[in-house]
Amino acid sequence: ADTSAWDHANTETPTVVYNPSAPADRRYLMMYSGANGTFPGYSFADYAIGAAFSADGKTFTRVSASESPHGKAGLVLDASQIHPVGSDGIVADPELVLVGDTYHLFFSSFTCHGASCATIDSYGVSHATSTDGIHWTIVAAPIRSLLRSSALTSGGAQPSVIYDAVHCKWEMWLKSDADADVTNQPVAFNNMAGVYKAESTDGLSWNVNFAFSRDLAWMQAEPGEGLGLLTGVDVAANGNGRLMLFVGFDDQNVPNGFVLPLRAGGTSAGVFALNVATRDLP
């Protein structure tokens, strides 16, 4: 309710892990994106990343201002920790993975400088680690092996990551689109053409081939995605199987009064649809 709070206007894109070794009141760690305004020169929110803890996974309490590295309740990571002095930027879309006693955080990052941040310095998926969920060490910002080219501005966003301990393998699904990749989707609202899959043996260096097909690609004829796809997926593991949740735009079974913004202008009857994709589930 505090209108001056850094996360007053937006609290979204949560990710949660359970740590049985953590203190009883901090067994569940939630990271989330928050904002309280629009980023200068752009239409998106001025995102940073916050943390909250829970004993039962139901009631979460933000990290206190006294514990926060920034002196603000909840706030634990912002672009000032990854960009050079004199620049600005955002961090958002956190994804947590717990390996041993170390939290690994993968997230979208964007840095820029100049009037209204007109010059983009970097864009991509970044990686940080922590042992307490509050104080984070940047490992890579952005991860170079996930860039489409040598340019630091050629990265992707909104990662979903799992660690397969049985096979000592990391897997990541991420959006990495050019603007032209989504122009044929009728609805225009934070679209994606699909997600690529990257793999790693150490969580540091990743293998991905953007010349190959996406692991999941938009299929207009499929129920639940006839009008396009919303950016981001979430993947869970069950043994060798994988379950992916993703959101599409659709015009089937639309309740009265529900509309979506069209790329050509105006709106049309439509809904967000939660979709499921699976691979090798037991």
Look at the chain and count its residues.
282
Cβ-count burial 121-147 (b if 16+ within 10 Å, e if not): bbbbbbbbebebbbebeeebbbbeebb
Residue ranges for the chain with pLDDT beneath 70: 84-86
Closest CA to 228 of 271, 264, 267, 192: 192
Determine the pLDDT at residue 115.
83
pLDDT for 255-273, tens place per residue?
Answer: 999 999 999 999 999 999 9
DSSP string for residues in 137-187? EEEESS-GGG-SSSSTT---EEEEEEEETTTTEEEEEEE---GGGGTT-SB
Q: Would you say 91 and 106 are in contact if contact means Cβ atoms under 8 Å apart?
A: no
d(CA 141, CA 106): 10
DSSP string for residues in 9-56? SEEEEEEEEE-TTS-GGGSEEEEEEEESSBPTTSSSB--EEEEEEESS
List 269's β-bridge partners, or say none.
259
Determine the pLDDT at residue 277.
97
Closest CA to 152 of 173, 122, 127: 122
Determine the pLDDT at residue 276.
97
pTM assigned to the model: 0.95
pLDDT for 137-187, tens place per residue?
Answer: 999 999 999 999 999 999 999 999 999 999 999 999 999 999 899 999 999
Determine the pLDDT at residue 199.
98
Determine the pLDDT at residue 86.
61
List 245's β-bridge partners, or say none.
234, 276
